[in-house]
Amino acid sequence: MSNILEQDYTTAASRADDSTTTLFLGFIIDDEHFAVEISNIKEIIGVQRFAYVPQTENFIKGIFNLRGDIVPVIDVRLRFMKPEKEYTDETCIVVVIYQDYILGLIVDAILGVYPIKSEMISAPPSANLNYQNQFVKNVGRCDDGIKLLLDLERLIF
């Protein structure tokens, strides 16, 4: 993680004073705030050059070598059926580990690390408002507003 994120993590971890608090990494897709449990984060890196893999879904940007691990990369924006956007200096890859899979998630920008108490996490609204709702596991409320907590299993598979 970058120095700023390490400081953010240290600050958030010190505020996570009990076992009912979980740390989440927040990021942006369009103007919407999403988050993934920090325990699933391996690292955050800049956008890499990918090797194209034929006959894959359009949201799979390819694969790259991360210190010996071959990592497939999903553009979360495209997975959510959002229009493609040119990558900027803020665009990055969040490398996640889920079960035995290592996967890169391209996000528009990182927001920071957020401690969210279990009582501040609730199920998403039952209304099927849009396509990306199928990837939202829960909704977390924190000092910085609402974060849509992603279901990595649904996002990956």
User: What does the alpha-carbon distance between residue 60 and residue 74 come to, in Å, rounded to a whole number?
Assistant: 5
Q: Which domain does 60 fall in, by range?
A: 3-156
1 falls in which pLDDT band (50, 70, 90)? very low
Rg of the chain over Cα atoms, rounded to whole angstroms, equals 15
16-68 confidence digits (pLDDT tens): 667 789 999 999 999 999 999 999 999 999 999 999 999 999 999 999 999 99
57-116 confidence digits (pLDDT tens): 999 999 999 999 999 999 999 999 999 999 999 999 999 999 999 999 999 999 999 999
Strand order in the sheet with 109-117: 109-117, 21-29, 32-37, 145-150, 136-142, 121-122
User: What does the alpha-carbon distance between residue 35 and residue 22 come to, in Å, rounded to a whole number?
Assistant: 11
Q: What per-residue confidence (pLDDT) applies to 24?
A: 97
User: What distances in angstroms separate CA 1 from CA 7, 44, 63, 77, 116, one per listed residue?
Assistant: 10, 6, 21, 22, 20
Whether the Cβ atoms of residue 113 and residue 143 lie closer than 8 Å to each other: no
- Which pTM does this prediction carry? 0.87
Residue 131 gets the label, from left (phi > 0), alpha (psi -120 to 50) or beta, of alpha
110-144 confidence digits (pLDDT tens): 999 999 999 999 998 775 655 557 899 999 999 88
Q: For 142-149, what is the mean pLDDT?
A: 92
Query: What one-character DSSP code corresponds to residue 58?
Result: T
Q: How many domains does the chain have?
A: 1
CATH number of the domain encompassing residue 122: 2.40.50.180
DSSP 3-state of 75: strand
Whether the Cβ atoms of residue 140 and residue 116 lie closer than 8 Å to each other: yes
User: What does the alpha-carbon distance between residue 83 and residue 106 come to, in Å, rounded to a whole number?
Assistant: 14
